[in-house]
Amino acid sequence: MPGIVIIGTQWGDEGKGKIVDLLARDAAMVVRFQGGNNAGHTIVRDGEEFKFHLIPSGILHPGKTCVIGNGVVVDPSVLIGELDGLRRRRVDVGGLRLSANAHLIMPYHVMLDTAGEAKLGKLEIGTTKRGIGPCYADKSARLGIRVQDLLDPKILRKKIAAALEPKQQLLRPFARDPKLDLHAMTEEYLSYGHRLEPHIADTSRLCWDALDSDQTVLFEGAQAAMLDLDHGTYPFVTSSNPIAGAACVGAGVGPTDIDEVWGVCKAYATRVGAGPFPSELTDEVGVHLRDRGHEFGTTTGRERRCGWLDLVALRYATRLNRLSTLAITKLDVLSGLDPLRVAVRYRGSEGAVFEEFPYHQSILHSAKPEYEDYPGWEGDISGCRSEADLPAEARDYLAAISDNVGVAVGVIGVGPGREQVISTGVRAG
């Protein structure tokens, strides 16, 4: 003990990597439990930028065990590319462990993702086209290929053949793609197996051992609550469960192993891809947020949609995750905006008021946010290192968020750098 889960409370890109990086200082292990290389975490260390898609952000701390848990879907070529990139930059990757039970993203998953989006046309989800949805679909259909299969050539070939067969029709447009050749694919994946073998382990057991010997284990979420397959803005969601409860399933630990749940929330809101976003701003304030906040996707480079902070959605995420602590990131991006607005409720198209996040998709699609305004502040706050350094208006803004959702703020981000954080000292258990 303790186990600490860190999750996104919005639509992803909240800066979870930075908070994981901060909390990892006191942890023995960092575990990713869902998602795949649709995620992108950027960490700036001593002015040097690191981007991760699969490897847990904790890898930048020497001596930590970093786990890719069974709930993650792994594109082995991406993982090997990340390992090689880190090695080139002299980062020790010896502590990386990969669950033998994690599922593999195969070339046909990526093709199916692309083909599926094309077929949806205007109704497309705006996926990252990394094969995430089709890989999780195969996992549920029991046609998945797992990391452990890489170590057995006969089984690997058999399983790939079985998984490919039902997809022939759907994959017709790619029929001539050499990547779909059974023999070539098996050989390619066997070579990945050779590279990854030293990292493959029973990672649930590793978590057990660490928790049992009173070491701190961080469970690092990817994406965020509003993209949750069950609780998010379905179907405009990802294909895994990025909420805290999924940490147990995706890492192989029990619910009583979790002691704290940190929710990471940007001081405003962003979303990439399609789907409802009630507090979206299409005016110059939205552009200001995008430009000041560098709101372009780490994974796909897409422009992020920007808007005011949505407390209806944040209260919903607080409930789904039973947050113990909030980390508010990118507060510095709001400098110079006045007033600052936060959505506190929605009004439906027929005038009904929604204090709670509406469960019906049609309501959400047409819901208009109602705002409360707070005075903004001038000047650069990126050098602030304590709450007392912040302008009174910034402190009031944070207090309003915390009061509204009933969760204390533990960390405030005021810039991209590793050191650009304020710890409030609050550790609600």
Question: Interface with ligand IMP by CB under 6 A: which residues?
Answer: 11-13, 38-40, 125-128, 130, 132-133, 222-223, 227, 236, 238-239, 272-273
Q: Which is nearer to ligand IMP, 17 or 193 (CB)?
A: 17
Q: Which is nearer to ligand IMP, 216 or 299 (CB)?
A: 299
With residue 411 as reference, give the H or E element that holds it. strand 409-413
Of 13, 75, 228, 310, the catalytic one is: 13
281: number of Cβ within 10 Å? 19
Q: Which is nearer to ligand IMP, 95 or 242 (CB)?
A: 242
61 tagged catalytic? no
Q: Is the dihedral of CA 395, 396, 400, 403 positive or negative?
A: positive
Secondary structure E strands in 58-131: 65-68, 73-74, 96-99, 103-104
Of 21, 41, 310, 332, the catalytic one is: 41
Q: Which is nearer to ligand IMP, 132 or 411 (CB)?
A: 132
Kindly give the residue spans of alpha helices, DSSP state H, lying in 96-152: 107-120, 132-140
Q: 42 with 49: CB under 8 angstroms?
A: yes
Residues in CB range of 193: below 8 A, 6 or more apart: 76, 150, 151, 156
Pairing of strands 409-413, 421-423: antiparallel
Q: How distant, in Å, are the alpha carbons of 56, 107, 360 from that of 96?
A: 9, 24, 42
What does residue 414 show for φ and ψ, rounded to 5 degrees?
-125, 15
194 tagged catalytic? no
What is the secondary structure of 253-293 as a DSSP string? --GGGEEEEEEEEESSEEE-SSS--TTB--SHHHHHHHHHT
**Smallest separation (angstroms) from ligand IMP to the CB of 418:** 20
Residues in CB range of 164: below 8 A, 6 or more apart: 108, 171, 180, 182
Q: Which is nearer to ligand IMP, 11 or 33 (CB)?
A: 11
Closest CA to 30 of 66, 59, 62: 66
Q: Among all residues, whose Cβ is closest to ligand IMP?
A: 273
The single-letter code of the amino acid at 322 is R
Q: 145 with 156: CB under 8 angstroms?
A: yes
Q: 272 with 300: CB under 8 angstroms?
A: yes
Q: Which is nearer to ligand IMP, 193 or 232 (CB)?
A: 232
Q: Which is nearer to ligand IMP, 146 or 305 (CB)?
A: 305
CA 57/CA 218 separation, integer angstroms: 11
Closest CA to 379 of 391, 389, 370, 387: 391
Q: Which is nearer to ligand IMP, 58 or 221 (CB)?
A: 221
Q: 298 with 341: CB under 8 angstroms?
A: no
The residues that are catalytic are 13, 41
